[in-house]
A and B are shown apart, each in its own frame.
Chain A
């Protein structure tokens, strides 16, 4: 099985991991939803809030490995679809007592591409 990740990391930086990565057009992410990207060896869920801003956190729930990109969001948290654990989109901290997600700086550049900064 080779489910490619469309838009995933056409950033020319190979496997280096750290630094800025361009993940493709913002329009790949519907408003109010998230999409998962494999980038720099990490799985990252990028969310597009209803106010247009972006958030990026790790894509795997620390509780039982649920797909965070399939979660439901509002202006501040994402809820994992498996057991409804919630995490702050800004910090990755859990508001329901499980472990944290990592959070990543993310923004849209002038050509409306999603850019994420990996440590």
Chain B
């Protein structure tokens, strides 16, 4: 209770914190302050920031999005003015610092202020380099109207409003580097025709060699941007405003706008005037300190560290962290040793990644190159001593994450160099994400590591947008969004490769399928709740596991299964498929896709009577009645008087057939008859995932038998081929030939035996197209056709048991299994439904 004491006097104790002054309120200055705050620096420091621009701090990388109209200028601010207030930071926005007095420890600004400091951070950044071009400036020393630099939010706003004036139709961008191409693309979105004039021999020559540049040029020209390389602008034509540009060895280009994107120059005037060491930029040591100055630090593009000046954002994050470690004393051992710059960007809609060397330098360097200009794809990797020392990738960023890491850490490379360029059925992207180190940078624009994303996901944020909001990952140029998504998915599922739970049949019972079945059999567990009680940790139920267990137990115990309806998914509770609006679809059985006038008439009558909103033919040769409210289901079934077609379960669903020999002049086998027989026998049996079948009467395959879970094809000579593991949905796979047999009875027997083997051994929700390649067709042939393991009789008997236990679920309409089984769960009319008395 010290409150009383402090209420007497109004005087606050003197602020004894060190005065920290930051010159520069751009990305580097603000990031350095953020890092300092993150280390508790606000306790030790009173912070004052000077910014040349009259704003808070914004993301310069996003200016190209503002130019193209994809982003609102307000949407790119990293720190609003509120942030400064909340963190007790004094911001002098729109004020330029002119001089530092190192001895008196004061900074003088152009508003006449002298501000004392104990610690100083210089983060003055860069400005656009304006080449010596005649006519660039008015006699008054301002840029000629229509000439723009591309560095600040004001530059960008000026460009947008100029480009939107109707009579401005054409622009020339000086500079074919990253920024120039971004400017060109952005101007195009305002309907401006653009020429890019580049003095180098190829585009983006700082990031890539001539071959990559040539591919990039094709991609850029395909966007309708004209490119002039090895071409220097000698004059801006006009006088009162831009009317064209003059080139050194080429005809003039008439235009209304000129954007200068010819590089950047560090802002070092303050440092020079104040007597600090400046070479190409302000010199700093490995602690980000100016040499011989204990209390002056510098960070960002205005800095020269070990001879290097960086113009990218990633090094800036690293520098800011080291600087903050020293300013706050959080880690006096922290050192910045320079950055290996790898850029990953979308330039004018083209994915570009580049790191290290553009081309081999020594005789012993390997150079792996792939070029496909028509698709705008180019990949080049330079290898030295089995390590990547440089790479350029255009138009295909799939291997970027892996290559960046290999480059950053000098990872050993696979013998087969081609796998550096392509995923050759080896570890796919998913594994690529799993392989990434925690501190590997996923988002280069905002400096977000894989670890930061993973931590956010583990903290309960499992949506991509949520993670992007929380970490800012993917909110820069957006080129890393796919990678961010992959990391989030990977993090959300846990480390799939190392997670033992991945092998469990269901997540809530820590056993693989075979062990689970053995335990169930051993302990005679006949209901889902009994399985949880006996086998789950703490006996706890798990919602995600119920459906899989219900399916498994039904398969194992058939007639002896204790059916607890709460274990079922809603579809299996009400024997219909739930739709997006909470209504259901009703699909009557139509074996083999064969119907009759009587059945059609009855379906039509029911559709009329119940005002069914949509009547549709399914892909499985049946009729679907869509939009049926749950409470109408029993009445609809009663009026239909047809068995369920099972269009809603993880179960045997349907057998498609072609016309077959009965009518078709090509038919070699009675496919319709066999299809109906198969469907009659196996209708509705539950399985780990849905089973879709087909029987075709000849190799023309009109019923698509080659892409079904089980597909049958009649071939000449009265024989039948059986294919398994086919798919034509989310995945496309041609089924593998299991056997060719002499009669339809054997088809039914082997199809049933295969399905039973699949039911007993496949993981929950594992379709046959995954199961068959996993266990291998040779193994399946051995077990099912040749009975190599002596399982055949057992499989046949188990399947027969399931077939015998089958009951048509639509009979439950007359006799609900549970109270309120068909009661609506989503009143479709406006509530309140409460009767007023």
Residues of A within 8 A of B (CB): 1-6, 8-12, 14-15, 27-36, 38-43, 45, 50, 59-60, 64-75, 77-79, 81-82, 84, 86, 95-98
> Within 8 Å of chain A (Cβ to Cβ): is B697?
no
Shortest beta-carbon distance, A115 to chain B, in Å? Answer: 15
Q: Can you list 12 residue pairs at the A/B interface with Cβ under 8 Å?
A: A5-B823, A9-B832, A11-B834, A12-B837, A32-B565, A38-B827, A38-B833, A39-B832, A67-B570, A70-B578, A72-B568, A78-B543
CB-defined contacts of B544 to chain A, threshold 8 Å: 79, 84, 86
B35 within 8 A of A: no
- A5 & B582 in contact (Cβ 8 Å cutoff): no
Complex CA distance for A43 and B829, rounded to whole angstroms: 11
| Chain B, 785-837, CB within 8 A of any chain A CB | 818-821, 823-829, 831-837
Say whether B580 faces chain A, with CB atoms less than 8 Å apart: yes
**A14:B837 contact, CB within 8 angstroms:** yes
Residues of A within 8 A of B228 (CB): none
Contacts of B581 in A (CB 8 A): 65
The 8 Å CB contact of A64, one of B541, B570, B580, B823, is B580
Greatest chain B CB density within 10 A among A4, A32, A43, A71 is at A32
Contact A30 B818 (CB under 8 A): yes
Which of chain A's residues have a CB closer than 8 A to the CB of B820?
6, 28-30, 35
Interface SS majority for chain B: loop
Residues of B in contact with A (beta carbons under 8 Å apart) = 460-463, 466, 508, 529, 540-544, 546-547, 564-571, 573, 578, 580-582, 629, 631, 818-821, 823-829, 831-837
Question: Is the CB–CB distance between A35 and B823 below 8 Å?
Answer: yes
Bound form: Cα–Cα A60–B582 in Å: 10
What CA separation (Å) do A38 and B546 show in the bound complex? 28
Contacts known (A42-B831, A70-B570, A97-B460); A15 close to B540, Cβ less than 8 A: no
Measured between beta carbons, the chain A residues less than 8 angstroms from B461 are 97
Query: Which of A31, A43, A72, A98 has the most chain B CB within a 10 Å cutoff?
Result: A72
How far is A34 from B543 in the complex, measured between Cα atoms in Å?
A: 13
- Residue of A with least CB distance to B532: A74
**Closest beta carbon of chain A to B746's beta carbon, Å:** 40
Give the complex CA separation of A64 and B826 in angstroms: 12
B462 touches A72 (CB 8 A): no
| Cβ-defined contact, B543 with A9, below 8 A | no
A3 to B831, CA, bound (A): 11
Whether B462 and A73, one on each chain, are in contact in the complex, defined by CB atoms closer than 8 angstroms, is no
Residues of B within 8 A of A39 (CB): 832, 834
Q: How far is the CB of A12 from chain B (nearest CB, A)?
A: 6
Task: Judge whether B582 and A33 touch: CB under 8 Å.
Answer: no
Q: Are A33 and B566 in contact (CB under 8 A)?
A: yes
Q: Are B529 and A50 in contact (CB under 8 A)?
A: yes
> Given the complex of chains A and B, what is the CA–CA distance between A15 and B74 in angstroms?
45
Report whether B826 and A60 are in contact in the complex, using a CB–CB cutoff of 8 Å: yes
- Residues in A whose Cβ lies below 8 Å from that of B582: 65-67, 70
**Contact yes or no, B580 A82, CB < 8 A:** yes
If A32-B564, A32-B567, A33-B566 touch, whether A1 touches B828 (CB-CB below 8 Å) is yes
**Interface of A, helix, strand, loop or mixed by DSSP:** loop
* A50 / chain B contacts, CB cutoff of 8 Å: 529, 541, 566
Q: Are A1 and B837 in contact (CB under 8 A)?
A: no
Inter-chain contact B834/A38, CB cutoff 8 Å: yes
In chain A, what residue has the closest Cβ to B629? A3
Q: Which residues of A contact B828 (CB under 8 A)?
A: 1, 3
Which chain A positions have C-beta within 8 A of B547?
72
* In the complex, residue of chain B having the shortest beta-carbon distance to the beta carbon of A66: B582
Determine which of B566, B824, B836 lies in contact with A73 in the assembled complex, contact meaning CB atoms within 8 Å.
Answer: B566
Q: How far is the CA of A73 from the CA of B567 in the complex (A)?
A: 8
Contacts of A96 in B (CB 8 A): 462
Q: Judging by beta carbons under 8 Å apart, are A33 and B460 in contact?
A: no
Q: Which 5 A-B pairs have the closest CB atoms?
A: A32-B566, A38-B833, A74-B541, A69-B825, A67-B826
Q: How far is the CA of A69 from the CA of B821 in the complex (A)?
A: 11
Least CB distance from A79 to B in Å reads 5
Q: Which of B543, B571, B819, B824 is close to A77, meaning CB atoms less than 8 Å apart?
A: B543
Q: A97–B462 Cα gap in the complex (Å)?
A: 5
CB neighbours of A60 from chain B (8 A): 826
Distance of A1 Cα from B544 Cα, bound (Å): 34
- Shortest C-beta distance, B458 to chain A (Å), equals 12
A65 to B828, CA, bound (A): 11
Q: Are A36 and B566 in contact (CB under 8 A)?
A: no
From B570, B823, B831, A43 is in contact (CB under 8 Å) with B831
Pair A45/B832 contact, Cβ less than 8 Å: no
Given A39-B832, A50-B566, 18 further pairs, Cβ under 8 A: A3-B631, A9-B833, A15-B836, A30-B821, A32-B529, A35-B820, A45-B825, A65-B826, A70-B578, A72-B566, A72-B567, A73-B543, A74-B508, A74-B542, A74-B543, A75-B540, A81-B578, A95-B460
A84 and B819 CA atoms in complex are apart in Å by 24
Question: Does B825 lie within 8 Å of A35, measured CB to CB?
Answer: yes
CB closest residue in chain A, given B538: A75
- A73 to B571 CA separation, bound complex (whole angstroms): 15
Of all chain B residues, which has the CB nearest A45?
B825
Contact present for A41 and B832 (CB under 8 Å): yes
Decide if A82 touches B829 in the complex (CB within 8 Å): no
On whether the beta carbons of B836 and A30 are closer than 8 Å, the reply is no
From B463, B825, B826, contact of A97 by CB (8 A): B463
Task: Known contacts A6-B820, A30-B819; decide if A67 and B825 are in contact (CB<8 Å).
Answer: yes
What are the residues of chain B within 8 A of A67 when measuring CB–CB? Answer: 570, 578, 582, 825-826
- Inter-subunit contact B823/A36 (CB<8 Å): yes
Q: Which residues of A contact B580 (CB under 8 A)?
A: 64, 82
* A residues near B508, Cβ cutoff 8 Å: 74
A12 to B582: give the CA distance in the assembly, Å: 30
**Chain B residues in 8 Å Cβ range of A97:** 460-463, 466
* Chain A neighbourhood of B460, CB < 8 A: 95, 97
Which of A8, A59, A75, A79 sits near B825, CB closer than 8 Å? A59
Contact of A8 among B569, B629, B833 (CB under 8 A): B833
Complex-state Cα separation, A50 to B539, whole angstroms: 12
Contact partner of A1 (CB less than 8 A), chosen from B546, B578, B829, is: B829
Q: Are B834's CB and A1's CB within 8 A?
A: no
Write the nearest CB–CB distance from B582 to chain A, whole angstroms.
4
Bound CA–CA A82/B837 (angstroms): 36
Q: How far is the CA of A42 from the CA of B827 in the complex (A)?
A: 11
